[in-house]
Structure 1
Amino acid sequence: MKKILLTGFEPFGGETINPSWLAVSALHGQQMQGHSVVAAQLPTVFDASLRELKRLLRLHQPELVICVGQAGGRRALSLERVAINVNDAPIPDNAGATPIDTPVVHGAPAAYFTTLPIKAMLAALQQEKIRAEVSQTAGTFVCNHVFYGLMRALAKSRSLKLARGGFVHVPWLPEQGAPNMALDDMVRGISVAVRCALAVQEDRLMGAGATD
């Protein structure tokens, strides 16, 4: 069966939970439009997160990849538009690394756009009364690091040349602070986003790819 790969992160920054992993793990094993959902956890660590993601891509050869991360302070599901080739850590990652103004990949393009139909996904989420937005920045921490690495891997891999991918940020859970979103709404929102991405091949978004 064709695969959908969903990834979330382990807790970081002193937290004991990460809603990104709780949300995607709730969808593991489900079937959507002839595809099987595989959920996997990434370490919140520069470099190690990309090594694990690339291993998962080789293993599962997914047709659709959505990486999900936590963004405390946001109130909606954030559909990320662009990943930038910069690591600039505001806090240490889970291995204690704090890269400042370093590239994700030396000599690579400045940015990659998502290949998900984020405008259609936004409309689908809003129709289901789930708070959602298109975001212009995934930050410069491990979330953006993974987003950039994902889009570069999809652009460069012959075996994954037809696969599409992108990144979604979720808010805190109520027990983590405010603003927040209930876990059930996150799970439902990611499910809606995945089904929309499978159904919609083209979006009103300008052409995806790399930019110098």
Structure 2
Amino acid sequence: MDSFVKYRVLVTGFGPFGTYTENPSWLAVRTLHDTTITTAHTRGKPPKGPKADAIHLTALNIPTVYAAVLSTLPGLHAQPPVLPEEYTSPASRALPEEGFQLIVHVGVAGPGPLRAERLAHKTGYQLPDHERQSPPLIIGKATLRGFGSPRYGDDFADELFTSIDVDGLVDDLTSGPDPLPLETSDDPGRFLCDFIYYCSLAESEHAGRGTPVLFIHCPPIGQKMSTAEVAEGVRRIIANVCSKL
């Protein structure tokens, strides 16, 4: 790891599903891979100075598949992280031994601004994934689907909340001369976006290191924001969160 980098951040996007042969979340997230920004990042070039700490970004594409989330997320929170075998980018050879300091998941939603999600749900999933597989059944709960024992049992609440101050994040980035189109949300959607968020928050607890986790919803391409604008918005969100770690 480069000695000047203070924070290592993992950003995930999703693979295809439904009518999306290329997922808008991954089209934005992949442009961030193996790049470095700073905690003072604003639109355009990040300013440099003694108070600006460097942040290295690693991007990962996760299939829009329940089983893929369940098999991948524990490794992302491990120390050191374990990425899927097919992930062979140069950054995979320099993963932080101490683990990522922040994990941000990005997924597509409806038209509008970026949405920073505050919470995720344990149960209530019904929709089939990209491989037409249903969400996992909770043993002993009849038709209830979502997370259950043994790994996600009664120790985990029906709703898990991010440790990040989402309201403060939104206030910071929507004020000033260059406001970001960003709003707070408590409805991640009971599909793969909600599913990966809950899984990641639970795995953060499992790992015992308190790694902050955030989920960002982006709009479809060209519906209020372009791919480049989404990527820039994610950069600014990450810079703001890391500046307060």
TM-score range, shorter chain: 0.7 to 0.9
The Cα of 1:156 is off from its aligned counterpart by 1.7
- The one-letter code of the counterpart of 1:151 is L
Shift of 1:41: 0.5
Contact 1:120/1:200 (<8 A) preserved: no
Residues 73, 203 of structure 2: 8 Å contact kept: no
Preserved contact between residue 77 and residue 207 of structure 2 (Cα < 8 Å): no
- The answer for the alignment partner of 1:155 in structure 2 is 205
Q: Is the 8 A contact 1:83 1:113 kept in 2?
A: yes
- Asked whether the equivalents of residues 117 and 200 of structure 1 are also in contact (C-alpha less than 8 Å), the reply is no
Q: Distance in 2 between matches of 1:122 and 1:39?
A: 23
Which residue number in structure 2 is paired with residue 98 of structure 1? 134
Deviation, 1:164, is 0.9
Query: 2: distance between equivalents of 1:23 and 1:195?
Result: 16
Task: Provide runs of 4+ in structure 1 moved above 6 Å.
Answer: none
Choose the corresponding residue for 1:43, options 38, 52, 63.
63
1:12-58 per-position Cα deviation (integer Å, ceiling 9, x unaligned): 11311211111111111122333311100101001212312322332
**SS, match of residue 26 in structure 1:** helix
Structure-2 separation of matches of 1:74 and 1:134: 15
Residue 55 of structure 1 corresponds to which residue in structure 2? 75
C-alpha distance in structure 1 between counterparts of 2:221 and 2:144, whole Å: 30
Structure 2: state its 5+ residue gaps.
2-6, 38-52, 82-94, 136-142
Shift of 1:112: 0.8
SS class of match (1:172): coil
CA distance in 2, matches of 1:185, 1:103: 33
- RMSD of Structure 2 on Structure 1 (CA): 1.8
Preserved CA contact (<8 Å) 1:5 1:37? yes
Deviations 1:142-188 (A, max 9, x none): 11110000000111213xx14211111101102xxxx4411111011
For structure 1, the residue ranges without an aligned partner over 5 or more in a row are 202-212
2:71 and 2:130 map into 1 onto residues whose CA distance is: 15
- 2:112 corresponds to 1:64: no
Residue identity (%): 27
- Does the aligned pair in 1 maintain the 2:126–2:145 contact within 8 Å? no
The answer as to 2:166 corresponding to 1:118 is: yes
Output one character per residue of 1:61-98: Cα deviation in whole Å (capped at 9) or x when no partner.
10001011111x240111001111025233x2112113
Distance 1:185 1:125 in 2: 14
What SS class does the counterpart of residue 238 from structure 2 fall into? Answer: helix
1:170 paired residue number: 218
The aligned counterpart of 1:206 is none
With structure 2 as the length reference, what TM-score do the two structures score?
A: 0.73
Return the match for 1:131 from 174, 177, 181.
181
Instruction: Give, in whole Å, the separation in 2 of the partners of 1:126 and 1:146.
Output: 26
How many residues in Structure 1 have an aligned counterpart in Structure 2? Answer: 193
Contact 1:84 1:144 in 2 (8 A): yes
Question: In terms of Rg, which structure is larger?
Answer: 2
Q: Secondary structure at the residue paired with 2:196?
A: helix
